[in-house]
Amino acid sequence: MWPDVNNRVNYPLKRALIHLVDQEELNMEDNLTRYCVSTLTCQVAQIGLDRMVQSWNAHRIQGKGIPDQLALGGCPKKAPADCLPEAAGAAHTYLQEVGSSLTQVSMFGRNPFSTAENQTVAEHEFAQQYSDVSEFYNRTVNYEPTHFQNGIRDLIDIVRRHV
């Protein structure tokens, strides 16, 4: 499944961002830039991941069926809660058994806003300019990354004005 995630979500976004860095339009040493790139890219990637999971669950697995249809009746067996480790315990077990660690979810830059009000104003201004964030994903995966790249530039400008 990971090659599909990379090809359908990660690589198109990464190509768009690398192009901006190569053109020296992004200074990834700047915390504000890192924050803006991380924030918007995570939102756009989540759209792609959600769509990928939906399509995965709707496809036929040979000899088994379609996951969405198989799940209609619920889970035939329930695992007791005490059999399922907490996230930290599962990550530790994974490290011990597999020999590598899981990547922790984190933002790539610190939030630069001094107040929640400034952040809300900036987010509202960006949302007025770009009301449908899914368009960033739609165009980028169809080899039209300019809209996403412009969104990154505009978000940086908007945030810079409000911090």
Pull the structure tokens for residue 77.
């067996």
Query: Would you state the pLDDT for residue 129?
Result: 97
pLDDT at 48: 96
What DSSP character marks residue 30? S
Helix 31-58 to helix 146-162 angle (10° resolution) is 140
Residues in the chain with pLDDT < 50? none
Q: What is the pLDDT of residue 78?
A: 77
So what's the pLDDT on residue 70?
A: 79
Nearest of 37, 36, 52, 14 to residue 140 by alpha carbon: 14
Per-residue model confidence as pLDDT tens digits over 114-131: 999 999 999 999 999 999
> In the prediction, which pLDDT does 104 show?
61
Tell me, yes or no, if the pTM score tops 0.85.
Answer: no
The whole-number pLDDT of residue 106 equals 56
Q: How many CA atoms lie within 13 A of 118 on its CB side?
A: 11
Residue 156 is predicted with a pLDDT of 98
d(CA 58, CA 65): 10
∠ CA 36-41-46, nearest 5°, is 135
Q: DSSP assignment, residue 65? A: B
List all residues 6 or more positions away from 137 whose beta carbon is below 8 Å from its beta carbon: 44, 45, 47, 48, 51, 148
* DSSP tag of 120: H
**148 and 44 in contact (C-beta within 8 Å)?**
yes
Encode 123-158: b = buried (16+ Cβ within 10 Å), e = exposed.
Answer: bebbeeebeebebbbbbbbeeebeebbebbebbbeb
pLDDT value at position 138?
A: 97
